[in-house]
């Protein structure tokens, strides 16, 4: 389930929680700095990962690790690259990457001295856009079978 939708106009900063947002096909979240014509148009991070950081004493919440979509109840890292995520009534994402290499330390790292996005976040490109909002269900299709995604 979607527990937070987050965007920012700049890269490498905490994202602002917006509650809902338009996701554009082949682009990403409208108004987000990471949107564009590349393979990491949308980033996802599990609320469970954020809660682990909270238990370690960090004052963090959804969007603080620069993720676009904060999820609940899904083991994101078990989703293979190439799998598809259907969000809400019709948004379709394709998982393109697990984690990332941080070549430079971002503002989040300097504020917290720790960042979980490179290890626990996943990235996707947008196959079909639409309006995303808190509470939307997320369905995972690990293998694509013709007719399965109607």
- Span 10-26, pLDDT tens digits: 987 889 999 999 999 99
Half-sphere exposure of 30 (CA within 13 A, CB side): 11
How far is residue 96 from each of residues 6, 23, 133, measured CA to CA in Å? 19, 17, 22
User: Per-residue pLDDT for 30 more than 80?
Assistant: yes
| Confidence (pLDDT) at 116 | 76
- Domain locations along the chain: 2-141
User: Per-residue pLDDT for 103 more than 80?
Assistant: no
Rounded to an integer, the average pLDDT of 47-60 is 90
CATH architecture designation of domain 2-141: Beta Barrel (2.40)
Half-sphere exposure of 76 (CA within 13 A, CB side): 29
Mean per-residue pLDDT over the chain, rounded:
90
pTM: 0.89
- At 132, which helix (H) or strand (E)? strand 130-133
Q: Which residue has the higher pLDDT, 108 or 146?
A: 108
Q: Which residue has the higher pLDDT, 117 or 44?
A: 44
- Both tokens of 45, joined, read 């991070």
| Confidence (pLDDT) at 113 | 65
């Amino acid at each position: 389930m979607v527990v937070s939708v987050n965007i920012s106009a700049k890269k490498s900063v905490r994202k602002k929680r917006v509650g809902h947002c338009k996701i554009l096909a082949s682009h990403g979240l409208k108004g987000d700095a990471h949107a564009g014509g590349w393979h990491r148009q949308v980033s996802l991070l599990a609320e469970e990962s954020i809660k682990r950081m909270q238990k370690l004493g960090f004052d963090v919440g959804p969007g603080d690790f620069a993720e676009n979509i904060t999820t609940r109840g899904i083991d994101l890292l078990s989703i293979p690259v190439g799998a598809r995520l259907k969000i809400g009534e019709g948004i379709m994402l394709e998982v393109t990457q697990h984690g990332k290499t941080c070549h430079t330390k971002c503002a989040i790292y300097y504020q917290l001295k720790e960042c979980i996005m490179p290890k626990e976040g996943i990235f996707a490109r947008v196959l079909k856009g639409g309006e995303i909002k808190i509470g939307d269900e997320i369905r995972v299709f690990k293998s694509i079978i013709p007719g399965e995604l109607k």
